[in-house]
């Protein structure tokens, strides 16, 4: 691992110091105190720091005490293992500890991996992280430097603007005049349908069983988008979504994902597989049953589940895999989901950290295809634009090897006034090109409208 990625100065990360030079201090916070400042704290993290939340833990972070450069992304398993080892080597203190202090969050690294598993990645160790666990415990973790004698010294973390100042500096509220927005689709709708038709032909010819094809919408805004405002619409506290706003070498990735790739807590492993989608209508009483009864969507979903199970059963015992999927209602669409749980057969010394499990699964069949290698080859051939961080993974990991990583879907890549929005659809032998095009449109609409009110009308 090199000290820092070339061109990554935009995230204001200091590189990777010796772990012995730092100390992580965790303090329990009264839930009422945590809640009192939550809105501003979350907005500041989303706009200027990093915000990641999943089923297990919400993290709102500012500043940067260290940064891991991973030039080969998820391909370098040794570097992934070294991340855990470095985090574990940082001294963790819990002054005025509560009875359950041994479970207090220590130093964490968070960030995003691109869809291309070998693309460079950057994980940041925040200087200050506010944590809320699924069980309601609330903590703040500060990672501080030491002096030469090993005693702690006052934190020298750069003070960030408060949430209100950050949002004001980022630009005015979006108006409703769409003529101020520049909009480009890559590929065009007709070209996307043609690509789906080619993929269907490939699948029927036996080259592969499923491939996910994506569309990209490039948006040029009159003022930069404000991440916290995006999340207020895309997430809004809805528990079905996992929100994130993290810096990347190219800018910032903001979104609210419905899909868990993998979480690891101790030896417990969880993955929530999604595949198969139907738009929700008004009234939507029949939509869930229509999706559940769809042979095409059930077959697509089963392919994804079987691939994840095949990968995890080599690492876990007691895998729990429901015989039937459930219908998960989002806001604009519903999806088939299967929650898979298992217990690791190995101890941490044998590997299988959260990052290593992510490397095993990514890209999942929900965003890649079956068989993986053939699907990735067709994606490269049929998609005219690279996917960047869309359909990558966003999350966190710690020194115990635990962590949680969600799919970077239902997201926007921001770089100043430029925004990239993507959506994909799973193509199988029974796919209809126009139906898959319509599915991507349904998925694009809520993200585009969160970016700029009414922007989906330009599709």
Residue 415 lies in a domain: yes
Same domain, 114 and 192: no
For 127-146, how does the pLDDT look when each residue is reduced to its tens digit (9 = 90+)? 999 999 988 889 999 999 98
Give the domain range for residue 77: 9-169
Same domain, 248 and 381: yes
- State pLDDT tens for residues 414-432: 999 999 999 999 999 999 9
**What pTM did the predictor assign?**
0.90
pLDDT for 285 equals: 65
The answer on 70 and 197 residing in a single domain is: no
Q: Which of 44, 56, 142, 259 is catalytic?
A: 259
Do 85 and 118 share a structural domain? yes
Q: Is the Cβ–Cβ distance between 325 and 360 less than 8 Å?
A: no
Res 299: pLDDT: 94
Per-residue model confidence (pLDDT) at position 52: 97
Q: What is the count of structural domains for the chain?
A: 2
If asked whether residues 134 and 18 sit together in one domain, one would say yes
* 54-58, 189-193, 218-222, 378-382: segment of lowest average pLDDT: 54-58
Residues shown for the chain: 459
Give the pLDDT of residue 21.
93
Q: What is the pLDDT of residues 313-361, one digit of tens each?
A: 989 988 999 999 999 999 989 999 999 999 998 765 556 899 999 999 9
122 DSSP β-pair partners: 69, 112
Clarify whether residues 28 and 124 are in a common domain: yes
Segment 428-450, tens digit of pLDDT: 999 999 999 999 999 999 999 99
210 counts as catalytic? yes
220 plus 101 within the same structural domain: no
Tokens representing 191 are 């070209």
Terminal alpha carbon distance of the chain? 42
Residues 62 and 210 in one domain: no
Distance CA 440, CA 148 (A): 56
Q: Which residue has the higher pLDDT, 379 or 248?
A: 379
Q: Are residues 243 and 289 in the same domain?
A: yes
Domain membership flag for residue 298: yes
Instruction: Say which CATH number the domain at 314 has.
Output: 3.60.120.10
- Residues 31-52: tens digit of each pLDDT: 888 888 889 999 999 999 999 9
**DSSP string computed for 241-263:** SEEEEEEETTEEEEEEE--EEEE
Q: With 70 as the cut, is the pLDDT of residue 10 above it?
A: no
Distance of CA 196 to the CA centre of its chain: 26
Catalytic residue among 56, 210, 356, 436: 210
DSSP 86-115: HHHHSEEE-TT--TTGGGS---EEEEEE-S
Claim to verify: residue 144 and residue 244 sit in the same structural domain: no
Answer whether residue 16 shows pLDDT above 80.
yes
Same domain for 444 and 395: yes
Q: Look-up: residue for tokens 């009308």?
A: 457
- Say yes or no: 344 and 399 in one domain: yes
Domain boundary residue among 142, 169, 196? 169
d(CA 296, CA 228): 38
- Asked whether residue 4 is domain-assigned, the answer is no
Q: Is residue 2 part of a domain?
A: no
Domain boundary at 138, 169, 200, which?
169
Based on the residue annotation, tell me whether 436 is a catalytic residue of this protein: no
């Amino acid at each position: 691992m090199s000290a820092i990625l070339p061109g990554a100065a935009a995230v204001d990360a200091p590189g990777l110091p010796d772990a012995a030079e730092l100390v992580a201090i965790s303090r329990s916070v009264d839930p009422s105190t945590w809640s009192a400042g939550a809105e501003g704290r979350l907005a500041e993290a989303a706009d200027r720091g990093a915000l990641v939340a999943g089923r297990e833990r919400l993290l709102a972070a500012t500043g940067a005490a260290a940064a891991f450069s991973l030039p080969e992304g998820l391909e370098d398993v040794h570097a992934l293992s070294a991340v855990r080892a470095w985090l574990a080597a940082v001294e963790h203190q819990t002054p005025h500890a509560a009875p359950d202090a041994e479970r207090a969050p220590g130093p964490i690294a968070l960030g995003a991996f691109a869809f291309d598993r070998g693309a460079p990645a950057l994980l940041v160790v925040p200087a200050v992280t506010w944590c809320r666990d699924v069980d309601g415990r609330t903590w703040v973790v500060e990672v501080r430097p030491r002096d030469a004698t090993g005693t702690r010294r006052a934190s020298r973390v750069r003070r960030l603007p408060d949430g209100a100042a950050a949002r004001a500096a980022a630009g005015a509220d979006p108006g409703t005049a769409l003529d101020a927005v520049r909009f480009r689709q890559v590929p065009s709708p007709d070209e996307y349908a043609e690509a789906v038709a080619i993929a269907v032909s490939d699948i029927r010819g036996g080259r592969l069983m499923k491939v996910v094809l994506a569309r990209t919408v490039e948006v040029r805004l009159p003022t930069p988008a404000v991440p916290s405002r995006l999340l207020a619409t895309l997430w809004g506290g809805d528990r079905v979504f996992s929100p994130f706003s993290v810096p990347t070498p190219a800018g910032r990735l903001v979104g609210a994902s419905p899909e868990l790739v993998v979480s690891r807590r101790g030896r417990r492993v969880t993955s929530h597989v999604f595949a198969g989608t139907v738009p929700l209508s008004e009234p939507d009483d029949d939509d869930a049953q229509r999706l559940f009864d769809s042979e095409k969507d059930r077959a697509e979903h089963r392919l994804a589940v079987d691939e994840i199970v095949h990968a995890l059963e080599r690492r876990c015992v007691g895998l729990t895999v429901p015989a039937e999927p459930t219908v998960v209602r989002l806001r604009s669409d519903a999806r088939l989901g299967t929650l898979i749980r298992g217990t690791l057969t190995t101890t941490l010394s044998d590997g299988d950290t959260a990052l290593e499990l992510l490397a095993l699964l990514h890209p999942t069949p929900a965003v890649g295809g079956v068989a993986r290698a053939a699907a990735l080859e067709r994606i490269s051939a049929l998609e005219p634009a690279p996917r960047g961080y869309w359909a990558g993974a966003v999350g966190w990991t710690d020194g115990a090897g635990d962590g949680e990583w969600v799919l970077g879907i239902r997201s926007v890549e921001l770089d100043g006034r430029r925004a990239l929005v993507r959506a994909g659809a799973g193509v199988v032998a029974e796919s209809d090109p126009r139906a898959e095009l319509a599915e991507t449109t349904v998925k694009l609409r809520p993200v585009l409208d969160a970016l700029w009110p009414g922007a989906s009308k330009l599709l």
